[in-house]
């Protein structure tokens, strides 16, 4: 049995990526509104009555408005997958990272409302949560997270600035230390102490590296880097999309997973110095956005489709 899906905000980067992934899947029918009716609440409400699921690829305020429209439909309301940051830590929403813990995929499968993770948060949570659950990291540990993303993660204006050559080759941002992904990193990474998160953007379109440095002797039980890697490997042993690499790389670039829904985790360690760095690599438009959304859609609709 197929499913009818409406992507609310299809003209944005994430919406276009989801539509492109779904267009070739015969079990999916994409519904839409004419350009002139996209901001017409009555027309949107009528369409929502006739779809199985709506994907929200909207600014925060607009996403909340669409959720209110859905709520007003009662028994005719479709299920919701929100790809914005509006509901990632909101009560009543299931976090759309199927690999989070055992049973998370089943929660997504049966949920009426799922919130797609943020790109940076995907990498950070994937690295932190298994270590918290395994007792190798405490919830009050002072965590520092650094990350670099391709410019497509910054929206239409940033994309235009980079593609016109008016943006710098590299820049730190979020230096007020109030980045919108921090609450979900804390909530789903298992942290009680707010981490220091410093994101950056560079002059490449897609790709992402998220890194977390650790002093091993400051961790419970003073583990080795190999112990951290083993905890990650155990958590994701059965995952289709998350893998723990064990190669001896001394350099790492951010773009090799572009176009995929893969998430690659590594632990780099120096036992003599008792230091380690956790690193996650992903496509910020793949597992960090559109690919993850399609993975969640497949679970919610009971379809065996590849992101």
Same domain, 8 and 135: no
In a domain, 165, yes or no: yes
Q: What is the pLDDT of residues 16-60, one digit of tens each?
A: 999 999 988 888 999 999 888 888 889 999 999 999 999 999 999
The predicted structure's pLDDT at residue 248: 82
The predicted structure's pLDDT at residue 20: 94
Same domain, 177 and 265: yes
What is the extent of the structural domain holding 101? Answer: 3-117+289-301
The pTM of the full predicted model, rounded to 2 decimals, is: 0.95
Same domain, 96 and 126: no
Same domain, 277 and 132: yes
Q: What is the pLDDT of residues 225-242, one digit of tens each?
A: 999 999 999 999 999 999
Burial code of 271-302, b = ≥16 C-beta within 10 A, e = fewer? eeebebbbbbbbbbbbbbbbbbbbbbbbbbbe
In a domain, 25, yes or no: yes
Task: Kindly tell me if the per-residue pLDDT of 80 is higher than 70.
Answer: yes
In a domain, 58, yes or no: yes
Task: Kindly tell me if the per-residue pLDDT of 196 is higher than 70.
Answer: yes
The predicted structure's pLDDT at residue 38: 81
Instruction: State residue 61 phi and psi, 5-degree precision.
Output: -60, -40
Which member of 22, 94, 108, 119 is catalytic?
Answer: 119
The domain that contains 139 carries what CATH number?
Answer: 3.30.360.10
- The confidence band for 305, taking pLDDT boundaries of 50, 70 and 90, is confident
Task: Kindly tell me if the per-residue pLDDT of 306 is higher than 90.
Answer: no
Same domain, 140 and 111: no
Same domain, 167 and 24: no
C-alpha 231, offset from chain centre: 21
Taking all residues of the chain, what is their mean pLDDT, rounded to a whole number? 95
Task: Kindly tell me if the per-residue pLDDT of 206 is higher than 80.
Answer: yes
Domain count, the chain: 2
The predicted structure's pLDDT at residue 249: 86
Same domain, 21 and 151: no
Same domain, 86 and 233: no
CA–CA distance from 206 to each of 93, 119, 257, 289 (Å)? Answer: 28, 11, 9, 11
The domain that contains 27 carries what CATH number?
Answer: 3.40.50.720
Task: Kindly tell me if the per-residue pLDDT of 307 is higher than 80.
Answer: no
Report yes or no: 156 and 95 within 8 Å, Cβ to Cβ.
Answer: no
The predicted structure's pLDDT at residue 147: 98
The rounded percent of the chain whose pLDDT value lies above 70 is 100
Report yes or no: 172 and 120 within 8 Å, Cβ to Cβ.
Answer: no
Same domain, 37 and 131: no
In a domain, 307, yes or no: no
196 Cβ contact partners less than 8 Å away, ≥ 6 residues apart: 142, 143, 144, 145, 177
Q: What is the pLDDT of residues 258-296, one digit of tens each?
A: 999 999 999 999 999 999 999 999 999 999 999 999 999
The predicted structure's pLDDT at residue 1: 59
Same domain, 149 and 188: yes
In a domain, 306, yes or no: no
In a domain, 258, yes or no: yes
Whether 119 is catalytic is yes
Same domain, 132 and 252: yes
Residue 21: count of CB within 10 angstroms of its CB: 21
Same domain, 64 and 49: yes
Cα 260 from Cα 280, distance rounded (Å): 14
Task: Kindly tell me if the per-residue pLDDT of 95 is higher than 70.
Answer: yes
Q: What is the pLDDT of residues 107-156, one digit of tens each?
A: 999 999 999 999 999 999 999 999 999 999 999 999 999 999 999 998 88
């Amino acid at each position: 049995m197929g499913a009818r899906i409406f992507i609310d905000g299809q003209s944005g980067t994430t919406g276009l990526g989801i539509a492109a992934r779904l267009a070739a899947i015969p079990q999916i029918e994409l519904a839409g509104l004419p350009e002139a009716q996209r901001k017409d609440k009555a027309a949107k409400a009528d369409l929502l009555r006739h779809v199985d699921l709506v994907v929200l690829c909207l600014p925060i305020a607009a996403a909340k408005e669409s959720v209110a429209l859905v709520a007003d439909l009662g028994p005719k309301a479709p299920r919701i997958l929100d790809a914005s940051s509006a509901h990632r830590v909101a009560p009543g929403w299931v976090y759309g990272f199927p690999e989070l813990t055992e049973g998370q995929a089943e929660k997504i499968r049966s949920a009426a409302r799922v919130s797609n993770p943020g790109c940076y948060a995907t990498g950070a949570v994937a690295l932190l949560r298994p270590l918290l659950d395994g007792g190798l990291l405490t919830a009050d540990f002072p965590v520092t997270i650094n990350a670099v993303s391709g410019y497509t993660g910054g929206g239409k204006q940033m994309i235009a600035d980079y593609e016109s050559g008016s943006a710098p080759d590299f820049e730190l941002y979020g230096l007020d230390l109030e980045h919108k992904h921090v609450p979900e990193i804390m909530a789903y990474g298992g942290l009680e102490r707010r981490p220091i998160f410093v994101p950056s953007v560079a002059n490449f379109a897609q790709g992402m590296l998220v890194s977390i440095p650790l002093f091993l002797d400051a961790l419970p039980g003073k583990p080795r880097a190999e112990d951290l890697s083993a905890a990650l490997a155990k958590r994701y042993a059965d995952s289709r999309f998350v893998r723990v690499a064990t190669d001896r790389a001394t350099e790492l670039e951010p773009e090799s997973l572009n176009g995929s829904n893969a998430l690659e985790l590594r632990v780099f360690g120096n036992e003599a110095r008792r230091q380690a760095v956790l690193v996650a690599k992903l496509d910020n438009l793949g597992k960090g956005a559109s690919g993850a959304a399609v993975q969640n859609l497949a679970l919610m609709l009971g379809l065996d489709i590849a992101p």
